[in-house]
Structure 1
């Protein structure tokens, strides 16, 4: 098991990002997502975990050892930035380089099985790959090194949804099988809710809420109801969180089974209903 304990952490980073009095303990196996109104949140926190910055105050411990005394955090904490690959390389060479850079990397057979899951051939050049394939390969190379902790800052945001789901299925399997801890950020709320075990909500640098996601939690949506007569109190009992309310328009975040709320939307005085995926901004208005 790996544990990261953060106590009373405060930082005002050069990039303008800040964290204030943060306390949290992260344990493997787990995928933890950070939902923040600061697009540089991941960059700031992950830099601290790799000793690329200094907090204003507070402490970080990894497996009980103060981070500041850990000589080579990169040996247990992996980031995509660690990987140096070139377009003219064959995929096979990139795999070899990843194996050489780690004392406990996976073997050739295991690496080949992962490549096959994504229709990647070790004899193909990296330059011939599509953007989705290049992003996927970089994540695979990180897994080849088998770090105890993986930091992914908006790593899959550019992937097509179907491709992102496959990559996260691989990452979640890795976390469970190797007892690893994966920390992630994303601008896509659906990705975070589909992939994470826990979500940590941050607003203006403060940790405002922690939410454990059960396997059947599903993905939050935002429902906008036009017209009158919508039974708000009943909806709230079913899991609705009101975001905006006007005389003939009600907008709310819904975290339950969508089938349960549908009968409430069938009032004759309701003229229209719009259902959309929840955004980071919607979530931070609630949690």
Structure 2
């Protein structure tokens, strides 16, 4: 089973610190999310794990082998998908899958891939470059799954997918990780996506690993609540899972973790004039740490 061990990693590029004193172990059958105010640190980490760039200090070992020195040997183990890559795949879906399966004996069979595609409403006779953007992203991920990679690095992989497509592909990815003991590391700017589908979220700020959030359940996601007016029982809200990030005389803003129904009775104050509930951002979450 594959394991990634990162120790005291430092990477600087064009006078920007991308990773600083970054240490982490990534284990088999685990889906890890990278959260940052931008994708620079995550993209740099992907390049370093894949051996596409040299680190400035520290080490990255994949099954005890240096990720850069052994990059040619390790290449067959690592798959990469960039959700922002607009390049299409050539040929029909059938030709893409046939070529992939033929070149990768350690992956899954064409019949298995075809069954997966059918569930996603992707047909073998369709031209790959004619697929709608979300389904094309799904196909690119399935190609990497078909190769049987033990490490999947996914940069904002569902950027073009709708909610149904996103749920479908993550159900597939999580099942793949569990059954094959693969390591999946992905970046996203969506807290809800990370909290629903990752086993852990690594919060990175200015290149430093600020916090690791372990996710035991995936039934709720954080939200940002803004309350205007007076009389809101802050202390009680905090016992229910709230974290205040801004408090003024007539406004309070906080992150709420848990079932929003539990919070509603506290919002029924006659002196509260306005309530807004919105998606929480990575920047908001970083204020916790």
Identify whether the pair has TM-score above 0.5, normalized to the shorter chain. Answer: yes
- Partner of residue 243, structure 1: 245
1:226 and 2:254 equivalent?
no
- 1:81-135 per-residue CA deviation (whole Å, 9 max, x = no partner) reads 6x9x865511111012212332301111111111111111112211221111111
Provide closer, same or farther for how the CA distance between residues 147 and 216 of structure 1 changes in structure 2, counting only shifts above 3 A: closer
The answer to whether the Cα contact below 8 Å between 1:17 and 1:40 also exists between their aligned partners in 2 is no
Root-mean-square deviation (CA, aligned residues, Å) is: 1.9
Deviates further, 60-69 or 164-173: 60-69
- Partner of residue 144, structure 1: 146
Count of matched residue pairs: 286
The answer to whether the Cα contact below 8 Å between 1:75 and 1:102 also exists between their aligned partners in 2 is no
TM-score by length of structure 1 reads 0.94
Task: Map 1:120-269 onto structure 2 (within 5 A).
Answer: 120-216=122-218, 218-269=220-271
Deviates further, 127-136 or 45-54: 127-136
Which secondary structure state, in structure 2, belongs to the residue aligned with residue 10 of structure 1? Answer: strand
Shift of 1:278: 0.8
Moved beyond 6 Å, runs of 4+:
none
Shift of 1:43: 1.5
- Partner of residue 20, structure 2: 20
- Partner of residue 31, structure 1: 31
- Partner of residue 118, structure 1: 120
Shift of 1:46: 0.5
CA distance in 2, matches of 1:13, 1:217: 39
Which secondary structure state, in structure 2, belongs to the residue aligned with residue 53 of structure 1? Answer: coil
Provide closer, same or farther for how the CA distance between residues 141 and 216 of structure 1 changes in structure 2, counting only shifts above 3 A: closer
- Partner of residue 7, structure 2: 7
CA distance in 2, matches of 1:90, 1:200: 38
Provide closer, same or farther for how the CA distance between residues 281 and 76 of structure 1 changes in structure 2, counting only shifts above 3 A: same
CA distance in 1, matches of 2:287, 2:42: 20
The answer to whether the Cα contact below 8 Å between 1:34 and 1:184 also exists between their aligned partners in 2 is yes
Gaps (5+ residues) in structure 1?
Answer: none
CA distance in 1, matches of 2:104, 2:17: 32
TM-score by length of structure 2 reads 0.93
The answer to whether the Cα contact below 8 Å between 1:157 and 1:187 also exists between their aligned partners in 2 is no
- Partner of residue 283, structure 1: 285
